[in-house]
Amino acid sequence: MSYRQTPTIVVLQEGTDTSQGRGQIISNINACLAIQDTLKSTLGPFGSDLLMVGSDGKTTITNDGATILKKLDVVHPAAKILVDISRSQDCEIGDGTTSVCLLASEILKNCKPFIEEGMSSHSIIKGLRESCNYVIEKIKDLEINLDEKPLDEEYDMLIKCALTAMNSKIIQQNGKFYSKLVVDSVLTLDRDDLDENLIGIKKIPGGAMEDSLFIKGVGFKKTFSYAGFEQQPKKFINPKILSLNVELELKAEKDNAEVRIEKVEDYQKIVDAEWGIIMDKLNKIIETGCNIVLSKLPIGDLATQFFADRGIFCAGRVSNDDLERTNKAVGGSILTSVNDINKEIELGTCEKFEELQIGSERFNIFSGCPLTKTCTLILRGGSIKIIDEIERSLHDAIMIVKRALKNKQIVSGGGAIEMELSKNLRDYSHSIKGKRQLIIQSFAKSLEIIPRQLCENAGLDSIELLNKLRNLHANNEINFGLDLDNDNVSNNFEKFIWEPSVVKINALQSATEAAILVLSVDETIQNKENDAQGGAPRGRGMPMPAGM
């Protein structure tokens, strides 16, 4: 019998990095634990802020988990999974971005010994799924439904949820002031939609934090203006508002076209024609009886002076977002032509318009809008970095209040729900035999990372306080959690430390899925860039079976 030489098939490019097996899973877990070490000090009311400097030299000071992970240049493929779940938590819920990463990392940390001992990752995954399903059902049993409450009680409930969301933020000392701003903002939105993008946030450095303003309507910064603007009136009661996407400006001919003429009179005809076009537009605007003209496009010096002479206020180059929000508040339409304007339908109105000086900026304020489905928050602070962090903090609180309005179920915060779930899961594990019992117990232990880290960030003895909580929860004190103000434990439901249950459910589901994804990957193939010289890439060879 003769054997031919086995040829080689190029499968992977030369230089391709491949890692596989148990060591690869442990390496991925270690990468996630490195992310946990970065984030854990930012959790809770006494969490620290991180100062990050980007490649462009810009600095960001924040303790928001999603923002930190967004700014970090994470290159490890497994660690990027944590970045993804923090972003999904931020988009879906708005808060709990740090908690979800800590939970996922802690689940992996407690599963690491099982991997090292040779337990199949699929057995671990089954146990984690079972644990997650059990705690989600338990949360639904423990949550308290605040539906069918009178309006004043609902308002108080939303204030408490907003305060809890702000406890870990830079604005916690001004929590009562900002929680009222947040709740008032969300309640102005359409209950069926609750689109948080209709809450305009404007930032003006200077002044104290509590100089921030809530405007039930629209406010935007004074736009670029031409000569004649200061002669226009700056205050109206019940004005008629015309919104345009039309340019009201004379253009220099050299910018638009080349015209060959033989006589001076021909040039004068061109100028007269252009003058006639813009004057026709302006006169048609005057005929509508409007008091305020807003446009996305420029309103030039001729139109500005024309409106000033007739007691009309105008603003050109209004940003698209501001004009859209104004239109939704005052009514009317954004028109692309001034011909055949229907005064009854296409003009908006409000109770009051005025231009105000706020700090170093001038703002155009529309208040008392009949169709108010939008509002504006004008934030003040010592520096733009502080205001940026206030904005991130308010975003979390706005999203929490929005979720609380949609989902009236709440649970006790401050680690209370995590300790109760941990206790129930441990009790459940006693009815399970075999390896799954160990996995379920490790999941129960992982849930304690939240109260433990809250204690450590506050400089308290986590062993003592967690033992107190375990004892209380063993005696069915289900609402007891950490009271960091008094360095002790307390009934957090009675102290109004509340969180929407949907925040916890989403965090637990996302963290478990992330941990399962990391555990299910036991090989990484990382391709290098192709050879810059081109041509067929050289590769790693695999022998072809004889006879092929």
Catalytic residue among 64, 90, 95, 322: 64
Q: How far is CA 64 from the centre of its chain?
A: 10
Which pLDDT belongs to residue 532?
42
In whole angstroms, give the CA distance from residue 189 to residue 398.
11
Considering the entire predicted model, what is its pTM? 0.73
Question: Is position 56 annotated as part of the catalytic site?
Answer: no
> How confident is the model at residue 440, as a pLDDT?
93
Tokens representing residue 146 in the block: 């605040």
3-state DSSP assignment of residue 101: helix
The reported pLDDT for the residue numbered 148 is 59
The stretches in the chain having pLDDT less than 70 are 1-20, 147-151, 251-257, 526-548
List pLDDT tens digits, range 382-424.
888 889 888 888 888 888 888 888 777 888 888 899 999 999 9
CA distance 231 to 427: 77
For helices 79-92 and 97-116, angle between their N-to-C axes, nearest 10 degrees: 150
112 to each of 71, 125, 432, 439, 521, how far by Cα in Å?
Answer: 28, 12, 21, 11, 14
What is the structure's pLDDT at 171? Answer: 82
Pairing type for strands 352-358 and 361-367 reads: antiparallel
Catalytic residue among 90, 95, 322, 396: 396
Of 42, 62, 98, 326, catalytic: 98
Could you tell me whether strands 144-145 and 240-244 are parallel, antiparallel, or unpaired per DSSP bridges?
Answer: unpaired
Domains and CATH numbers, the chain: 17-145+412-522 (1.10.560.10), 159-214+378-407 (3.30.260.10), 218-371 (3.50.7.10)
Q: What is the pLDDT of residue 535?
A: 44
266 is catalytic: no
Q: Is 388 a known active-site residue?
A: no
pLDDT of residue 86: 87
- What one-letter code names the amino acid at 151? L
What is the structure's pLDDT at 252?
53
Of 151, 140, 195, nearest to 407 (Cα)? 140
User: What's the N-to-C CA distance of the chain in angstroms?
Assistant: 17
At residue 255, the pLDDT reads: 56
Q: Which one of 42, 62, 97, 374 is the catalytic residue?
A: 97
Euclidean distance between CA atoms 190 and 196, whole angstroms: 10
Asked if 64 is an active-site residue, the reply is yes
Would you mind telling me the total number of residues written for the chain in this entry? 548
Report the phi/psi class of residue 340: left, alpha or beta, with left for phi > 0 and alpha for psi in -120 to 50.
Answer: left
Round to whole Å and give the CA distance between 452 and 315.
55
